[in-house]
Each structure stands twice: as C-alpha cells, then as structure tokens.
Chain A
Amino acid sequence: AQSVTQLDSHVSVSEGTPVLLRCNYSSSYSPSLFWYVQHPNKGLQLLLKYTSAATLVKGINGFEAEFKKSETSFHLTKPSAHMSDAAEYFCVLNSNSGYALNFGKGTSLLVTP
C-alpha cells in the first residue's frame, strides 16, 4: 500500500530562521513525491517534485527537499523563513500503480515576526 505521513501537524518558526517540514512515505513502487503549498482560501501550488532524478530537489521560493530512500523520507527545508511562507504544506505521493495522488494530512506553518 502507498501512503505518506507528515510527522508534524503544526510547525512554528521565527522569520529568518530555517524551516523543516518532515515527511515519510511508504511505497512498493519507485515513488514520485511532491510538495504542494496551500494558502488560505486558495488552491494548491506545486513547490517541487522528485521523480527519480537528482535526490536533492530545488523548488520555488527557496524551498528544497531531499529524497532519502534508506530512510523513506522526503523532508522539505528552507534556509530562512519569510512571513509569506505561512500556509498549509502537503507532502504527496504518486505511485506508478495509479494516477491518484496520496496526500499527507498537511503541516500548518506559522511564521512569527
């Protein structure tokens, strides 16, 4: 079975400090993994994706994620948080077996001044 687990439902950081949002996955296939962001009352925006190329993936707005097969993890990081980063972040798995996306429960990122 395919699944994704976001380890923190809420993360709070100060502006200018690093961001770490954790995601573990389970997949019997070689996975495709994505991070999406959702701002209040908005749709989902793709931050970055991993599809078996480089294990360190760079995305938009300074975000990056590292695929670690041995740890079945795909954590999202950013060196310095900005107030505009406050949003809901979803780690998403799309296995070869189908076309449906499997979403994590989401991590709400709060950025304080």
Chain B
Amino acid sequence: KAGVTQTPRYLIKTRGQQVTLSCSPISGHRSVSWYQQTPGQGLQFLFEYFSETQRNKGNFPGRFSGRQFSNSRSEMNVSTLELGDSALYLCASSLEASGRETQYFGPGTRLLVL
C-alpha cells in the first residue's frame, strides 16, 4: 500500500498570504490528523477529521482551518500568514475512530513564511 502523501513538499510564502496544504491518507484510512512541528514548540496537534467531520481541534487560532473530502483526502488552510507559521506540517492517517489506533505519518510540507 502506498503511504501517506503530502503536497507540496516545500512552500515559500510571504506574510499576509494564504496557503493550502494537501494530504492523501493510506487507502482505507478514514481518519486524518494534522500536526505542526517547530523547533520551539515541538509537535502540536492541529485538528483531526473523520468521515468529513472535524472531531477534535488543537489550540490554534481560527486562521488555521481544514476539511476532509468524501475520499478521505484532507486539506488544511492557513490564512493571513505570519512569520511564526513557518514550520513542518505533518499529516497522519489511521484506520478507524479509536484513539488507540496507530497513526501513520506523511513526509510533511515545509512552509517558510518570509
């Protein structure tokens, strides 16, 4: 099976712009989660989607949003970019709804905000 894929792998944006990142989960996986990784804050949970519904959201401002499509692919959007949004954004997928499920991670999208 193909793993979790994320596009694009690298992005450079300027402050005030918006950006959309895409994630394709492992075939058959219905849960998709997003995480932000920075040197200062480490890995932080953004949100989780299951069957097109956001079930859980981390402590991030409303500029961070996401959605999931009927084929389980997910996108996250960041509006009005700030310098502090520079980070590695990781997507993870899992099979079912259980919190005990293993989450499988994609390679990430590295976003640089100038």
Residues of A within 8 A of B (CB): 32, 34, 36, 42-46, 49, 51, 90, 94-106
Contacts and interface: CB of A to CB of B under 8 A. Distances in A.
Given A100-B56, A101-B35, A101-B103, A43 B90 contact: yes
B70 to A, nearest CB: 20
10 contacts: A32-B100, A43-B107, A51-B100, A99-B48, A99-B55, A99-B97, A101-B35, A101-B43, A103-B44, A104-B42
Given A99-B31, A99-B99, A44 B55 contact: no
B43 A90 contact: yes
B66 interface: no
Contacts of B99: 32, 94-99
Interface of B: 4, 31, 33, 35, 42-45, 48, 50, 55-56, 58, 90, 92, 97, 99-100, 102-108
B97 to A, nearest CB: 7
Contacts of A95: 99
B42 to A, nearest CB: 5
Contact of B33 (A34, A46, A97, A99): A99
A43 B100 contact: no
B108 A43 contact: yes
A28 to B, nearest CB: 13
A34 B102 contact: yes
Given A32-B100, A43-B108, A105 B35 contact: no
